[in-house]
Chain A
């Protein structure tokens, strides 16, 4: 999939170089959408989804109850 992303990007750059602005912009839009799709696919984990539990701090409230806080 990454190969396709770079293929579309390279094509957009080359087409833009030859002055075909409309086609270059269409290709750039396709590249933008594909890049977002690949990004979301890359960061998705079957175990965690899109979350990053190793940096979550939402349990800090349990460890330090409100009554003990200043």
Chain B
């Protein structure tokens, strides 16, 4: 009886242990096989992927600035923080382009994507039930207000980072290949990084004009009053 009662447990543990190790080995083998198959293209594709992410973020920030300077829609404090979080994601991408792919640099992108999600969800919840004196003041873009767009952008960023980790995370050789090996991509990365930094500096000056050292509001540029 003792053998009968203890054996199944023992066998089950063994089976689960074997299955777990086997599955892990199989996944590692599959991952390594896939990685070795496209080693030649893995690095440039990663850089194209990162440049694509940064280009989209630069486009979103440019749109937000166009709405501000052309249409005269001053950003609210939480909108400004969302811009800052997007620039933080861009910082992480720039670090990956400059110093190579790493989990640390990817973590920077992820941290600011989560910050963006938290801020935009909170703002969406603030505006979800319009109260007198607290209604959202910005115009809708394709039927959605900017905080809602920010939620979507943050979720897309987190998904994109997850995909990046899934596709390139197991490839050890990607980190060793600098973007300097691909002159075309390096030029694009240089230009795009410069543009994003310019956006950051313009926003810094703009916040100074809009808020000075006081609390920000959306009525007027405080420095010009």
- Residue ranges of A at the interface with B (Cβ–Cβ < 8 Å): 1-3, 5-7, 9-10, 12-14, 16-17, 19, 21, 24, 28, 31-32, 35-36, 38-39, 42-43, 52, 54-55
Instruction: With A17-B193, A38-B77 as known contacts, state yes or no: A9 contacts B216, CB within 8 Å.
Output: no
Instruction: With A38-B77, A39-B78, A42-B77 as known contacts, state yes or no: A55 contacts B197, CB within 8 Å.
Output: no
Question: Distance in Å from the Cβ of A22 to the closest Cβ of chain B?
Answer: 11
B203 CB-CB contact with A under 8 Å: yes
Give Cα A39 to B123, complex, Å: 10
Do A35 and B129 have beta carbons less than 8 Å apart?
no
Give Cα A7 to B205, complex, Å: 8
In chain A, what residue has the closest Cβ to B122? A43
Do A32 and B99 have beta carbons less than 8 Å apart?
no
Do B115 and A32 have beta carbons less than 8 Å apart?
yes
Residues of chain B from 53 to 87 with CB closer than 8 A to chain A in the complex: 77-78, 80-81, 84-85, 87
Do A42 and B88 have beta carbons less than 8 Å apart?
no
Do A14 and B197 have beta carbons less than 8 Å apart?
yes
- Residue ranges of B at the interface with A (Cβ–Cβ < 8 Å): 77-78, 80-81, 84-85, 87-88, 90-91, 94-95, 98-99, 108, 111-112, 115, 118-119, 122, 125-126, 128-129, 131, 193-194, 196-197, 200-201, 203-204, 207-208, 211-213, 215-216
Give Cα A9 to B46, complex, Å: 26
Do B201 and A10 have beta carbons less than 8 Å apart?
yes
In chain A, what residue has the closest Cβ to B83? A6
The residue from A2, A7, A39, A55 contacting B119, defined by CB atoms under 8 A apart: A39
Write out the residue numbers on chain B whose beta carbons fall within 8 Å of the beta carbon of A32: 88, 111-112, 115
